[in-house]
Amino acid sequence: MFTIDIDETLSARDFYFELNNQLDALLSGERDLICNAAQFSAFIMQTLPNLNWAGLYFVRQEELVLGPYVGKVACTRIPFSKGVCGAAARSGKIQKINDVHIIEDHIACDAASNAELVLPIIVDGKIKAVFDIDSPLKNRFSDEDQHGIAMLVETFTSSSDWNWQIL
């Protein structure tokens, strides 16, 4: 059994460094993308407080298709032109949304979501996926959270083989 053991008295910066070490250990020895995406989503839900959804959407011909996640059932396909995930995919920039209700084309999958962080995953200069996290708390994600979670996404990305095909 893999146990995750984090000292909660750490500063935000050290908390994320510690989490990153644990994630590195969790994913070491495995490069399968789907396997690591599932583990990564569960790891985030298990270690970060106040989240209701965490998971991947993979790029498939100018469209995002739902991948492994933890949370309530979600929309399966999101065009690049729509939603917070689409904005991350087409701009290649992290989208940190303090209140999803003021974003006109936000796509509501879980009515409990009030804040959202979407991080694009770019490999060899190409957008491959986005990692999406939702929270029931407005203003859930600070700049420190954004930087820390970006580090975790980078560890997941570099630990996985992105040259995969379905069957």
List 106, 119, 127, 153, residue binding ligand SME (CB under 6 A): 106
User: CB of 98: closest distance to ligand SME in angstroms?
Assistant: 14
Question: To 5 degrees, how large is the angle CA 119–CA 120–CA 126?
Answer: 165
> Stretches 8-16, 30-38, 79-87, 151-159: which one binds ligand SME (CB under 6 A)?
79-87
Whole-number Å distance between alpha carbons of 158 and 59:
17
User: CB of 23: closest distance to ligand SME in angstroms?
Assistant: 21
List 19, 33, 37, 78, residue binding ligand SME (CB under 6 A): 78
Whole-number Å distance between alpha carbons of 118 and 47:
18
> Stretches 4-12, 103-111, 146-154, 155-163: which one binds ligand SME (CB under 6 A)?
103-111
- H-type helices in the chain, by residue range? 12-27, 33-47, 83-91, 143-158
Whole-number Å distance between alpha carbons of 167 and 157:
21
Whole-number Å distance between alpha carbons of 157 and 111:
29
Verify binding: residue 70, ligand SME, rule CB under 6 A: no
**Closer residue to ligand SME (CB): 48 or 85:** 85
Residues that bind ligand SME (CB under 6 A): 53, 74, 78, 83-86, 106-107, 109, 113, 116, 132, 134
